[in-house]
Each structure stands twice: as structure tokens, then as C-alpha cells.
């Protein structure tokens, strides 16, 4: 059947599949069907989206890494109807642009987030202009060998977090958008674009730290004089102090050392926004960080 192939395990370097470009080897399972998902999740696994919010250890991860293939990418479903089901591998940037073209409002705040839809759900991606939970109504997940539909308010969406059921892989989402005009949506997107203008355009995983209540992590790091601080090829960006950038050959160890250096010099506790994969010390390697939520790809348990 076109678009449906057998799950295809292959050995990869996860750094090649993440935007920060650090991280060691893993077994990648590219899945195109429920049968593939069932086969891939018989052993402990993690779920990879676009890899834009991940810090992966230099040693890689022992679990399988499951990634949804093209048959889960359904941008064409965005055809002008405000209530729409979309596949979880649909790239968010294309979705945001398509919504603008068909005059649907609600996704403008996600302009510039280089995620796929599943990863955007897991992280409740957003900006001060809006977040995915504003429009998310239902989530279809593959869990324990079967698909299940959950209302959005059942998956614990908060500031850059979700609490999906353990091991749940988001396969589709239902969004409720608001009819508008392409011009109005574009106008709203221009404001988001302008706010992003100062962000670095090089290898990163977006903002490294969550904003503490009532303050901005970038402002605190900048105030501590840490722009340009460097460990190996990992550096605090000059353009935006909450971006850790990879100048070329950074290792995960460089990035971790830089995170620790920042935390040692900023008096307010900073919680890492990124998901962390494969660190033997677990959360102890990242003092002050809340544990990874259960599910949302952090699961190490076979689905069945
Ligand atoms: C330049 C740049 C700018 C950014 N700007 C923003 C921003 O403005 N706002 C913002 O919120 N984020 C931003 N980010 C961070 C990132 O894009 C978001 O966190 C995004 O939601 C991550 O999605 P992803 O598909 O890349 O997920 P990944 O990084 O691949 O994975 C993140 C987590 O989601 C889980 N996951 C992925 N797919 C699924 C699935 N199908 N089912 C279940 N769990 C899944 C993974 O297991 C992992 O735990 C930025 C990143 C970069 C590089």
C-alpha cells in the first residue's frame, strides 16, 4: 500500500536528528502504520519529533527511538475548515503558514517553532502570543498497543509541559481554529516574527531554561554577564542569553557543563526547558530540574 512500509530499524547518530546537533547513537524505528507502532513499541522506547527541544547524551540512548513517518504528516487536511484533525508528524511551520493562507486564526503564536505537531503537544509549544493548548481540543494517542482519543484537558497541558499517559505516542490532534482572513492572520504573525528577530539563527534547541515566575531566564542570564560564556563549542548566544548554541563541534558534555556554569552564577533557580535523553545520573545530572514527566516520550516501558 503506498505510504505504508514496514518499520525500519536503523542505527543513527541522534545528533544528526536534533537541532542542537549533539547526541550519540540509538536504534531508530521509523513507523508508518499502527502495525509498525505495535512492533516498534514491544521494547523500551522513546519518541522523537523534530528533535528541536532535546539534549541527548554523547553516549546516546539504549532505548529504541520511534519516529512517525510521512503517513502521519497530513498538512493537506488543513483545507479551510476551522475544526481539523492533523497527523502528529505534520511540520508545525508549514501548518502555521497554511492556516494563514486559508484565513484561519489560532496558530500565529507558534510561528517559528521548528517542531512537528506531536512534539508541540508534548511540550505545549508556544510563545507569549499563544500556545498550542489554545486551539487543541482532542489528542489521539497510541498507547498499550491501541489508539485512544483523549480530550485536551485530560493531558495536563501547562507552561511548556504535558502529562500524557506513560508511553503515549501522539498520532493525531484535533484543533479548533477561528475563521479570519489571510491578511489579519498575517498581521498577527508579523508581530510574532518581529519578536523573534533577535534570536540566533544557528544550531540550538531554542530557549534552554523556563522563565521563572514573573521574570525572564534570558534577562537573568544576561544580567549575570554570561552572554558569550563558552565551554568547548557550546556558548551562551550574544543575541539572546537564553539560547545555548552549538558553534560547530559541541558535545553534550560541553552543553551540560555550560548549563551548570549558568546555574552556578544565576541566583534564581533555573529549570531546564529541554527534554534530556540518556544521562546516567538522571535528574541528578541537572540539579534544580523537576523530573521528566511520565509519558511524553520519557517512558522506558514497553507498551505491552
Ligand atoms: C530555533 C528554535 C526556536 C524555538 N522556539 C520555540 C518557541 O518559541 N516556543 C516553544 O515552545 N518552543 C520553541 N522551541 C523548542 C521546540 O521547538 C519545542 O519545544 C517543540 O515543541 C519541540 O517539538 P519537536 O517535534 O521538535 O519535539 P522533540 O524535540 O523531538 O521532542 C520533545 C519531546 O516531545 C516528545 N514527543 C515528540 N513527538 C511526540 C509524539 N508524537 N508523541 C509523544 N511525545 C512526543 C519527545 O519524546 C520529547 O519528550 C524552539 C526550538 C528551536 C530550535
Residue 48 beta carbon below 6 angstroms from any ligand 1 atom:
yes
The single residue of 64, 172, 207, 275 carrying the catalytic annotation is 207
SS3 call for 74: coil
Is the pLDDT at 166 greater than 60? The verdict is yes
Give percent of the chain with pLDDT exceeding 70.
89
For residue 63, the 8-state DSSP code is S
Is the pLDDT at 170 greater than 60? The verdict is yes
SS3 call for 178: strand
In the chain, CATH 3.30.465.10 covers 72-184
Euclidean distance between CA atoms 53 and 47, whole angstroms? 12
In the chain, CATH 3.30.43.10 covers 8-70
Q: Which CATH class is domain 200-285?
A: alpha beta
Atom of ligand 1 nearest to the CA of 273: 19
If pLDDT is split at 50, 70 and 90, which confidence band does 281 have? low
Residue 278 beta carbon below 6 angstroms from any ligand 1 atom:
no
Protein residue with its CA nearest to atom 34 in ligand 1: 119
Give yes or no: 207 in active site. yes
Residue 106 beta carbon below 6 angstroms from any ligand 1 atom:
no
Half-sphere exposure (CA, 13 Å, Cβ side) for 52?
19
SS3 call for 80: coil
Architecture of domain 72-184: 2-Layer Sandwich (3.30)
Which tens digits make up the pLDDT trace of 19-29?
999 999 999 99
C-alpha cell at position 104: 484561519
Is the pLDDT at 303 greater than 60? The verdict is no
> What string of DSSP letters covers 116-163?
BHHHHHHHT-EETTEEGGGTEEEEEEEETTEEEEEEGGGS--BTTB--
Neighbours of 134 (CB within 10 A): 18
Which tens digits make up the pLDDT trace of 189-247?
999 999 999 899 999 999 999 999 999 999 999 999 999 999 999 999 999 999 999 99
Q: Say yes or no: domain 8-70 is CATH 3.40.50.720.
A: no
Exposure string for 12-41, b = 16+ CB within 10 A, e = fewer:
bbbbebbbbbbbbbbbbbbbbbeebbbebb
For a substitution probing ligand 1, which of 119, 194, 202 has the most ligand atoms within 8 Å of its CB? 119
Which tens digits make up the pLDDT trace of 43-81?
999 999 999 999 999 999 999 999 999 999 999 999 999
Region of residue 24 (left: phi > 0; alpha: psi -120 to 50; beta: else): beta
For a substitution probing ligand 1, which of 92, 237, 275, 297 has the most ligand atoms within 8 Å of its CB? 297
Q: Nearest-CA neighbor of 96 among 122, 69, 129?
A: 129
In the chain, CATH 3.90.78.10 covers 200-285
Euclidean distance between CA atoms 194 and 142, whole angstroms? 38
The Å distance, Cα 1 to ligand 1 centre, comes to: 30
Residue 14 beta carbon below 6 angstroms from any ligand 1 atom:
no
The single residue of 64, 67, 98, 160 carrying the catalytic annotation is 160
Question: Is the pTM of the predicted complex or chain greater than 0.85?
Answer: yes
Amino acid at each position: 500500500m503506498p505510504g505504508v512500509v514496514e518499520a525500519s530499524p536503523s542505527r543513527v547518530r541522534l545528533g544528526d536528528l536534533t537541532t542542537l546537533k549533539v547526541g550519540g547513537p540509538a536504534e531508530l524505528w521509523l513507523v508508518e502504520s499502527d502495525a509498525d507502532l505495535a512492533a516498534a513499541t514491544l521494547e523500551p522506547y522513546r519518541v522523537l519529533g523534530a528533535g528541536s527541544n532535546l539534549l541527548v547524551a554523547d553516549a546516546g540512548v539504549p532505548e529504541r527511538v520511534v519516529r512517525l513517518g510521512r503517513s502521519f504528516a497530513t498538512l493537506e487536511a488543513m483545507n479551510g475548515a476551522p475544526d481539523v484533525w492533523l497527523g502528529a508528524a505534520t511540520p508545525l511551520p508549514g501548518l502555521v503558514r497554511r492556516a494563514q493562507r486559508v484565513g484561519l486564526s489560532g496558530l500565529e503564536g507558534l510561528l517559528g517553532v521548528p517542531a512537528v505537531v506531536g512534539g508541540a503537544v508534548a511540550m505545549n509549544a508556544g510563545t507569549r502570543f499563544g500556545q498550542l493548548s489554545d486551539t487543541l481540543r482532542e489528542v489521539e494517542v497510541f498507547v498499550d498497543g491501541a489508539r485512544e482519543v483523549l480530550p485536551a484537558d485530560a493531558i495536563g497541558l501547562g507552561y511548556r509541559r504535558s502529562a500524557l499517559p506513560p508511553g503515549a505516542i501522539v498520532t493525531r490532534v484535533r484543533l479548533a481554529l477561528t475563521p479570519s482572513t489571510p491578511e489579519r492572520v498575517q498581521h498577527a504573525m508579523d508581530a510574532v516574527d518581529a519578536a523573534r528577530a533577535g534570536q540566533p539563527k544557528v544550531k540550538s534547541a531554542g530557549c534552554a531554561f523556563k522563565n521563572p515566575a514573573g521574570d525572564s531566564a534570558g534577562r537573568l542570564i544576561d544580567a549575570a554577564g554570561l552572554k558569550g560564556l563558552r565551554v568547548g563549542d557550546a556558548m551562551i548566544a550574544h543575541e539572546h542569553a537564553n539560547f545555548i548554541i552549538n558553534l560547530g563541534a559541541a558535545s553534550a558534555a560541553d552543553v551540560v557543563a555550560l548549563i551548570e556554569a549558568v546555574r552556578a552564577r544565576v541566583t534564581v533557580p533555573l529549570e531546564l526547558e529541554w527534554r534530556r535523553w540518556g544521562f546516567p545520573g538522571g535528574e541528578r545530572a541537572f540539579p534544580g530540574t523537576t523530573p521528566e514527566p511520565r509519558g511524553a516520550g520519557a517512558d522506558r516501558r514497553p507498551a505491552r
